[in-house]
């Protein structure tokens, strides 16, 4: 199965961002990808207005997703991204959606909000309270995560124990001291924790690092992007997951009870 991760710098104009997403979907389809992961919070973003992502929030029936769903009807891709959806006055949910065949086949409200490194996502965003259900693409079971979720190994492990063989991760990973090191280390660690593939897409621009990656179940980067807009691909095999798990059966060898997290 061919998988893809696309990154770009989100602008303050949601129709522009939607058209960029549509273009990446078209390119991924043309390259025969089955799964495309796009970054986090794609509606609108401004370096000068940290609240723009929430202030621009749209419902799942809004114009942004309408354009992407129209494109989804024309291809065979499963496309994963996140956007802010209004919850109450001045607040929103950071919501991951998976699109296929012109439909929203799954959605997940981000569990772990980024209240770290002098940023407080929870100031305007409501956290979810349920672990997402797995989705399936070409027989491969896929777990859903968003950005800061990467720092919580129990979430990735819970999904692997439910059968996930691949984890997707839309992100907007903020620049800062050692943050690129954290990114690379955590992606490899979560792949090794779970013996899963990971497809991670990062928003790029002045404040976020980009650096989308596709990582195999042994923590090896199969494809990686830099800090500029880019679409990366890798061919992955479900059999490889089983081969790794036969050689490194950490999910079977665990001595602790499964992690207790929200369901």
145-166 pLDDT, tens digit each: 999 999 999 999 999 999 999 9
The Cα–Cα gap between 258 and 240 comes to 24
Q: What CATH number did the domain enclosing 248 receive?
A: 3.60.110.10
Residue 93 has pLDDT above 90, yes or no: yes
Residue 69 placed within a domain: yes
Q: Span 21-41, mean pLDDT?
A: 98
DSSP letter for each residue of 25-74: HHHHHHTT-SEEE--S--S--BTTBTTHHHHT---TTSHHHHHHHHHHTT
223-236 pLDDT, tens digit each: 999 999 999 999 99
Q: Span 181-193, mean pLDDT?
A: 98
- Amino acid 241: pLDDT: 98
Residue 259 has pLDDT above 90, yes or no: no
Structural domains of the chain, count: 1
Q: How large a percentage of the chain has pLDDT more than 90?
A: 95
Residue 178 placed within a domain: yes
**Is residue 86 a contact partner of residue 95, using CB atoms and an 8 Å limit?**
no
Residue 47 placed within a domain: yes
Q: Span 55-59, mean pLDDT?
A: 97
Neighbours of 69 (CB within 10 A): 19
Residue 261 placed within a domain: no
Q: Which residues contact 47 (CB under 8 A, 6 or more apart)?
A: 205, 206, 207
204-230 burial, b at 16+ Cβ within 10 Å, e below that, comes to bbebbbbbbbbbbbebeebbbbebeeb
Residue 197 placed within a domain: yes
pTM: 0.97
Please give the span between the terminal C-alpha atoms of the chain, in angstroms, as a whole number: 30
Alpha carbon 107 to its chain's center: 12
Q: Which range marks the domain in which residue 134 is found?
A: 2-253
Under the banding of pLDDT at 50, 70 and 90, the label for residue 263 is low
For the chain, give the mean pLDDT: 96
Query: Token pair of 236, please?
Result: 């992955």
List residues with catalytic annotation.
40, 110, 147
Residue 262 has pLDDT above 80, yes or no: no
């Amino acid at each position: 199965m061919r998988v893809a991760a696309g990154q770009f710098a989100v602008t303050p104009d949601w129709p522009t961002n939607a058209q960029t997403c549509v273009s990446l979907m078209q390119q991924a389809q043309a390259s025969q990808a089955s799964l495309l992961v796009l970054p986090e919070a794609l509606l609108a973003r401004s370096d000068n207005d940290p609240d723009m992502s929430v202030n621009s929030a749209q419902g799942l029936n809004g114009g942004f997703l309408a354009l992407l769903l129209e494109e989804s009807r024309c291809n065979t891709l499963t496309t994963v991204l996140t956007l802010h959806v209004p919850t109450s006055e001045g607040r929103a949910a950071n919501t991951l959606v998976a699109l296929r065949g012109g439909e929203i086949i799954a959605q997940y409200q981000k569990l772990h909000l980024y209240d770290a490194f002098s940023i407080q996502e929870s100031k305007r965003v409501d956290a979810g309270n349920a672990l997402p259900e797995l989705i399936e693409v070409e027989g491969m079971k896929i777990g859903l995560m968003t950005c800061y979720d990467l720092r919580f190994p129990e979430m990735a492990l819970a999904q692997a124990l439910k059968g996930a063989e691949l984890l997707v991760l839309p992100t907007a990973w903020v620049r800062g001291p050692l943050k690129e090191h954290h990114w690379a280390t955590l992606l490899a660690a979560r792949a090794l924790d779970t013996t899963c593939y990971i497809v991670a897409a990062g928003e790029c621009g002045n404040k976020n690092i980009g650096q989308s990656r596709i990582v195999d179940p042994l923590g090896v980067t199969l494809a990686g992007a830099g800090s500029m807009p880019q679409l990366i691909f890798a061919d992955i095999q479900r059999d490889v997951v089983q081969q790794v798990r036969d050689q490194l059966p950490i999910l079977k060898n665990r001595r602790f009870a499964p992690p207790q997290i929200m369901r």
